[in-house]
Amino acid sequence: MSAATARTPRSYLFVPGNRPERFARAFGSGADAVIVDLEDAVAPDQKEAAREALAAWRAEGRAHPAQLVVRINDDASAWFDADLAALRTLGPCTVMLPKAESASQIDRVAAALVPGTRVIALIESARGLLEVDAIAAAPAVERLAFGTLDYALDLGLTDDPRGLLYPASRIALASRAAGLPAPIAGVTAAINDEAALRDDVGLARACGFGAKMCIHPRQVEALHAMLAPTPEQRDWAARVLAAAQAGTGAVQVDGKMVDRPVLLRASAILDYPPASTAG
């Protein structure tokens, strides 16, 4: 297993399932995971072509450092059953289920696919948020993700980011309570706006998220840099651990007591991959 797949992904890059000529670039982008999209990025008359392209690409048996995720169409759509049938031929993989609103949906997907299939539940509606604890506890769930654009549409939110604070916090709490990795934040639609990306990452991190979906390869490296601890944070963490190892009793760093939560935070900072680490 590669380093990228051994650790919890920070970045999930979308690529349209009906654009196989873009697959290689997506998997070479440095993203920790690549989402081959069969849903929103693919027009209805291209759904079958997207499934065939994914199957053909997987049949080539190419080794890629990034984890493969497939976003299928939701279970109320006309394409759901055909998506599941196509995925059964691919072997174990990670599936992203859009419009997740109940644990039974997760169970249905897992039961229809080969053993070992894992599900990323995409919470993007009021109903999904109200059921998020049960969804997070479903056995097949690997991680939760927040579909911010669809959630905002469902509730009629404005562009004010304060409207996302409560649902983001609820999703993070449900993830933690269920023992899941920190959830995945939604996309930043402004591809060339690094300030918008930084604002979105800042809000997500403030709510307890640990990863983000991207819609363009150029967002990946910037995202990794934004998620990574700063040199100043790494220096602080190193000094905390050094002080703890050298001391025989209570120790202080920068005038503050070093207790167990501080030690755990310092260890997590030093364990986090540097920003320059490719996916």
Q: For the chain, list the domains and their CATH numbers.
A: 3-227 (3.20.20.60), 231-271 (no CATH)
Between 215 and 273, name the one with better pLDDT: 215
DSSP state string for 57-101: HHHTT---SSEEEEE---TTSTTHHHHHHHHHTT-S-EEEETT--
pLDDT at 57 over 80: yes
Q: What is the mean pLDDT of residues 132-137?
A: 98
Distance in angstroms (rounded) separating the CA atoms of residues 36 and 72: 9
Residue range 99-121, pLDDT digits in tens: 999 999 999 999 999 998 999 99
pTM of the model: 0.88
Would you state the pLDDT for residue 146?
A: 98
At 80-92, the pLDDT tens digits run 999 999 999 887 7
What does the pLDDT read at residue 248? 59
Q: Tell which wins on pLDDT, 236 or 128.
A: 128
Of the chain, the percentage scoring pLDDT greater than 70 comes to 94
pLDDT digit string, tens, across residues 182-211: 999 999 999 999 999 999 999 999 999 999
Local confidence band at 275 (pLDDT 50, 70, 90 cut-offs): low
Contacts of 164 (CB under 8 A, 6+ apart): 146, 148, 151, 152, 157, 203
pLDDT given at position 60: 85
Name the band, by pLDDT with cuts 50, 70 and 90, for residue 233. Answer: confident
Q: Does 130 score more than 70 pLDDT? A: yes
Judge whether 194 is annotated as a binding position. Answer: no
Give yes or no for residue 277 having a pLDDT over 80: no
Instruction: Tell me: is residue 83 an annotated ligand-binding position.
Output: no
pLDDT digits (tens, 9 = 90+) for 27-56: 999 999 999 999 999 999 999 999 999 999
Q: In sequence order, what are the residues at sequence separation of 6 or more whose Cβ sits closer than 8 angstroms to the Cβ of residue 211? A: 8, 9, 10, 11, 12, 32, 143, 181, 182, 183, 184, 185, 227
Distances (CA, A) of 42 to 22, 72, 79, 124, 167: 14, 11, 11, 19, 27
5 pLDDT more than 70: no
